[in-house]
Amino acid sequence: MKTRAKVISVCSQKGGVGKTTTALALSASFVLAGKSTLVIDIDPNAHISAILSKDSAQYTKTSADLLMKKFYSHNIIISQAMPVHYIPGGDGLVQYEKKDPFFKKSWYGRLRKKISRFDYDYIIIDTPTTIGSLLYTAVCASDLTVIPVQPELSSLKGLGLFLKTAKSLKKYMPDGFDYTILFTNVVYTPERKTAIDSFFKSKIGKKCSTEIIEHDCAFIDELFSCNPDTGRLSSSVTFQKYNKVSERFFI
């Protein structure tokens, strides 16, 4: 019998750090490795859904239904853009946070339970930037949380708070909280190189991914055009780094 899908969420307490890019790149990487992949978008902005649908489709069922109402496997959408399935995000997700205004945590386990019946090799969850129930619901549903970070000292404080809260939710994660920190969209300056090599790595240690994803617009254009089969994406140095990151999660 196939084991449960490996669930990876891409989370950060900071906006614009490369969560959606990382979720898309890891999905493309799994697809190219022949793995069946489901993307769940729990961002009300539905950025990754727009990329995967290649149009502004009006979805009848979204991840808000998955979280709060009835949702069946046949409600999952087959992407027109790349060979993945996805559950779109959307405005309805705002209700989820509204219904849990005091972070009662009672909902945090529900996504894990609901997706356990889906039959995929990998499930990738793209999350919103808001620090709230959606973010922690994703963390609790995951075997691994990938945290994109930019090597600025200002990121460190927010990261510390996020990790502290996530670690406090261990009881909702049967196998504990596991995470990896991934530097993304990095433009090297001597200061940033020093920050990564010494300060960040010494503070965060083994939880830092060895791959550093650099700023690479050609990679972004190729990835967002959603043609993972083209040699151009596979030959991109940045995509190969994402491949290395994903290989470590192979079942």
Ligand X SMILES: Nc1ncnc2c1ncn2[C@@H]1O[C@H](COP(=O)(O)OP(=O)(O)OP(=O)(O)O)[C@@H](O)[C@H]1O
Span near ligand X by CB under 6 A; candidates 152-160, 195-203, 210-218, 227-235:
210-218
Please, what is the minimum distance in Å from the beta carbon of residue 128 to ligand X? Answer: 7
Tell me if 115 sits within 8 A of 123, measured CB to CB. Answer: yes
Binding-site ranges for Mg ion (CB under 5 A)? 19-20, 47
Through-space distance between the first and last CA atoms of the chain, rounded to whole angstroms: 14
CA distance 179 to 114: 22
217 lines the binding site for ligand X (CB under 6 A): yes
Our finding on whether 133 is near ligand X (CB under 6 A) is no
Of the pair 108, 239, the CB lying nearest ligand X is at 239
Give residue number: closest CB to Mg ion: 20
Cβ proximity to ligand X: between 224 and 250 the closer is: 224
Output the CA–CA distances (angstroms, integers) from residue 76 to 86, 99, 119, in the order listed. Answer: 6, 24, 12
81-99 residues labelled b (16+ CB within 10 A) or e (exposed): bbebbbbbbbebbeebbee
Which is nearest to 90 in space by CA: 112, 69, 118, 119? 69
- Residue count, binding to ligand X (CB under 6 A): 18
Does position 187 bind ligand X by CB under 6 A? no
Member of 16, 98, 99, 251 binding ligand X (CB under 6 A): 16
Return d(Cα 11, Cα 138) in angstroms, integer: 8
CB nearer ligand X, residue 118 or residue 139: 139
Which CB, 20 or 209, lies closer to Mg ion?
A: 20
Quote the tokens at residue 66: 């998955």
Which residues lie near ligand X (CB under 6 A)? 15-21, 43, 47, 129, 184-185, 213, 215-217, 220, 238
